[in-house]
Amino acid sequence: MKRIINTKICPILSAKIMSQSNEELPVIVQFKNENTHLENMIMDLSPEVKLSLPIINGIACNLTTEDVYRLANSPDIEYISFDSKVFTQLDISVPTTKAQLPHQLGYKGKGITIAVIDTGVAPHSDLTKPNNRIIGFKDFINNKSTPYDDNGHGTHVAGIIAGNGYSSRGKYTGIAPESNILAIKALDKNGGGTTSNIVAALSYVLETREKYNTKILNLSFGSPANNSCSKDPLCKAVKIADNSGLIVVAAAGNSGPNPKTILSPGISPNVITVGAVDHKRTVDPSDDTIANFSSRGPTREGLAKPDVVAPGVNINSLSNINLDGYRPLSGTSMATPLVSGAVALLLNKHGSLSSRDVKKKLMDSCIDLKEEKENQGAGLVNLQNLFFDEYEREDLYEGNGKIKSCSSKDGLIENLLVLLFILFLLDKDY
C-alpha cells in the first residue's frame, strides 16, 4: 500500500491511491504557473482530455491513479483534485403546495443581466414576452445553440429572478422582472454535472461580461467540500469572478440539518451564501424556522456560513414543460435566486456596488430568527430594511402603523415596493 504524504492530492484521490487501485478517474490538474510543455505532456498522457480551464490555470482530463501519484511529485503542479459531481440544490422531500409570488416593483432590474449557470432555461413566456430577455445561451452539455431546459431546475430559478408574470397576468412575478438572463447549461437532464464544466461556464461568464452587461452570478448548485477552499477549483473560480467585479450568489446546500454541511462553492468567502427558511405561510416571522434540509455552517475550515437565509419552501415559478405554466419547488436553490434578484434591484437603486458592499447591505437588513448563527447567518433578508434606512422607514408610516399617502408618483412606487416586498417574503396569498 502506498503511503500518501503529498498535500497536492485531494482526499478522494489519495484514498484511491492508497487502496492500490489503478483505475482511470476524472481529475482537474492545476498548475502553479502557465506551463504549456507540462500541459501538453498531460494531454498526451491522458486517455481523455475534456477541457482547458485557464481561469484556474488548469486542465480537466482522465488519468490513472498511478499517473496522478507521479504527477503530484512535479514542482510545477499545484493541486490535483477529483472532478467531482455538482448537483442542483432542489429538496424533493418537502411536500409542495401552491404559493403566490405576486410582485410589482418600483425597481425592476432593467438593464442588469444575471448569469444563471444551471440546467438551462426554457423559453417560457414570462421571460420572452413581450420582449425576449434571455439575451444569451451557452450549452456545455449538448452544444445546442437555442435555449432549452431538459430538467426544469434552471427555468424555475430564472423565473424567481426575472419572470414578469406575463402568463399569469402578474400573479406570479419574479423579484427583478425587467432584468435579463444569460442562460448557461452546465448541468444535465438529471440535474448533475462536473466541476470542470462549472469552471468552464464561469470562464464563459467572465469572457462575455461586457457583451451581456452581466453583474450577478446565480449558482443554485453545490458539490461536497472535499478540499480546502484555497485549493478547491470552484472556490478559486468564484474568487476570480468576485475580483473581476461580479457579485456571486450561491446556495448553501440541502445537506442539513447537521453542522458543517455547507457545499462548495458556498464555502467561499467570496460569495453570498444563502440558506433556506420555512416561513410556515404565516404573516408573523416569529414562527419562521430554518428549513430542515438547509445546510448548516460553519465550513470545515471554520468560516461562518451561511451569510443570510431567504424563503425556500414551496416557491412557485416557471415550468419548463408548459411554457406558460408554473410549479412549486423547494430547496436552497429557490432561496438563492430570491437574493440574486434583490441584488439586481440594489444595483438599480445604488448603481455600481462592490460585492463587499452588497453583502454588508444584505446582512445588515436581516431579521434575527433567534437561531444559531451557523444555521441562519445574519438572519432572514428583509427587503424593507434593505431598501430604506431607519429614518426613511420611520417616514413611510403614520403613527398608527399605516403607510403614509404620497403626493408624488415616485413616493407611491417606493411605498408599494416596501409593502409588496414584505408580503413576498412572507409568501402571503392575497
- DSSP character for 232? -
Residue from 83, 91, 118, 149 carrying the catalytic annotation: 118
For residue 308, the cross-strand partners are 274
Residues 6 or more apart in contact with residue 28 via CB below 8 angstroms = 53, 56, 58, 59, 60, 80, 81, 82, 83, 195, 196, 199, 233
Residue 321's identity, in one-letter code, is I
Residues 6 or more apart in contact with residue 7 via CB below 8 angstroms = none
CB 303 within 8 A of CB 269: yes
Q: How many CA atoms lie within 13 A of 80 on its CB side?
A: 29
Q: Could you give phi then psi for residue 25, rounded to 5 degrees?
A: -130, 150
108-126: buried (b, 16+ CB within 10 Å) or exposed (e) per residue? bbeebbbbbbbbbbbbbbb
**Is residue 333 annotated as part of the catalytic site, yes or no?**
yes
Report how far apart, in Å, the C-alpha atoms of 179 and of each of 55, 64, 314, 425 are: 27, 46, 23, 20
Residue whose cell numbers read 492508497 = 18
Residue from 14, 264, 268, 333 carrying the catalytic annotation: 333
CA nearest to 376, candidates 425, 270, 279, 305 = 305
- Rounded-to-10 torsion of CA 401, 349, 111, 335: -60
**Is residue 19 annotated as part of the catalytic site, yes or no?**
no
CA nearest to 278, candidates 410, 421, 96, 113 = 96
CB 80 within 8 A of CB 182: no
**Is residue 288 annotated as part of the catalytic site, yes or no?**
no
Residue from 83, 126, 149, 153 carrying the catalytic annotation: 153
Instruction: Measure CA 245 to chain center.
Output: 16
CA nearest to 280, candidates 269, 290, 294 = 290
CA nearest to 105, candidates 56, 44, 176, 171 = 176
Catalytic residues: 118, 153, 333
